[in-house]
Structure 1
Amino acid sequence: MGLSVLVTGGGSGIGLAVARRLTAAGAVVTICGRTEDRLAAARDAGHADHYVVADVGDEEAVAQAVRQAHANGGGRLDGVVASAGGSGWLGPITQLPLEQWRQVIETNLTGTMLALKHAAPLMAAQGGGSFVAISSIASSNTHRWFGPYGVAKAGVDHLCLLAADELGASGVRVNAIRPGLIRTEMVAIVTEEENPILADYRACTPLPRIGEPDDVAALAAFLLGPDSSWITGQVINVDGGHSLRRGPDFSPWLEPAYGGDALKGLLPD
Structure 2
Amino acid sequence: MSLSARISFADRSYLVTGGGSGIGKAVAAGLAAAGAHVLIVGRGAERLAAVAAELGDTVRPLPTDVTDEDGVAAAVAAAQDSTGRLHGVVHCAGGSQTIGPLTQMDSEAWRRTVDLNVNGTMYVLKHAARALVRGGGGSFVGISSIAASNTHRWFGAYGVTKAGVDHLMMLAADELGPSQVRVNGIRPGLTRTELVAPVLDTPQIAEDYRLSTPLPRVGEVDDVADLALFLLSDAASWITGQIINVDGGQGLRRGPDFTAMLEPAFGADGLRGVVGPQ
Please state which band the TM-score falls in when normalised by the shorter chain. Answer: over 0.9
1:126 aligned onto 2:135: yes
Q: Is the 2:100–2:262 contact (alpha carbons within 8 Å) kept by the matching residues of 1?
A: yes
- Structure 1: stretches of 5+ with no match in the other structure: none
* Alignment-derived partner of residue 101 in structure 2: 92
Match of 1:71, SS state, is: coil
Shift in Å, 1:208:
2.2
> Which string of whole-angstrom CA distances, capped at 9 and with x for unpartnered residues, describes residues 88-133 of structure 1?
2221011111111111111111111111100101111111010000
Which letter does structure 2 place at the counterpart of 1:60? Answer: D
Corresponding letter in the other structure for 1:157:
D
Bigger mean CA deviation after superposition, 61-70 or 104-113: 104-113
Whether 1:57 and 2:67 are equivalent positions in the alignment is yes
Q: TM-score, normalised by structure 1?
A: 0.97
Contact 1:86–1:186 (Cα < 8 Å) also in 2? no
- Could you list the structure 1 runs, at least 4 aligned residues long, displaced by more than 2 angstroms after superposition: none
Quote the Cα distance in structure 1 between the aligned partners of 2:253 and 2:113: 25
In 1, the alpha carbon distance for the partners of 2:49 and 2:75 equals 15
Q: Secondary structure at the match of 2:117?
A: helix
Amino acid in structure 2 at the alignment position of 1:199: E
Alignment of 1:3-14 (within 5 A): 3-14=12-23
Q: Distance in 2 between matches of 1:34 and 1:128?
A: 28
Structure 2 unaligned segments of length 5 or more: list them: 1-8
Partner of 1:136: 145
CA distance in 2, matches of 1:90, 1:98: 11
| 1:70 equivalent in alignment to 2:80 | yes
Which residue of 247, 265, 268 maps to 2:273?
265
Which amino acid in the other structure matches residue 115 of structure 2?
E
The 2-side partners of 1:107 and 1:26 are apart by 31
SS state at 2:225 partner: helix
Instruction: Count how many residue pairs are aligned between Structure 1 and Structure 2.
Output: 267
Conserved? CA contact 2:138–2:182, under 8 Å: yes
- TM-score normalised by structure 2 residue count: 0.94
Alpha-carbon distance between aligned partners in 2 of 1:101 and 1:27, rounded to the nearest angstrom: 37
- Identity of aligned pairs, percent? 60
Q: CA deviation at 1:43?
A: 0.6
- State the one-letter code of the partner of 1:228: A
The answer (yes or no) to whether the contact 1:262–1:268 under 8 Å persists in 2 is no
1:164 aligns with 2:165: no
Matches within 5 A, 1:72-221: 72=82, 74-191=83-200, 193=201, 195-221=203-229
Matched with 1:39 is 48
Whole-angstrom CA distance in 2 between matches of 1:194 and 1:203: 14
Contact map agreement 1:135 1:176 (CA 8 A) in 2:
yes
Query: 1:133 and 1:207 mapped to 2: Cα distance?
Result: 24
CA distances 1:181-206 after superposition (whole Å, capped 9, x unpaired): 00011111012x35100100000000
CA distance in 2, matches of 1:164, 1:200: 35
> Could you tell me how far apart the structure 2 residues matched to 1:99 and 1:81 are?
28
* Cα root mean square deviation, aligned: 1.0
Q: What is the CA distance between 1:221 and its match in structure 2? A: 0.2
Code of the residue aligned with 2:248 in structure 1: it is: G
CA distance in 1 between counterparts of 2:77 and 2:134 reads: 14
Identify which of 257, 260, 275 aligns with 1:252. Answer: 260
Secondary structure of 2:251's match? helix
User: In 2, are the aligned partners of 1:19 and 1:29 still within 8 Å (CA)?
Assistant: yes
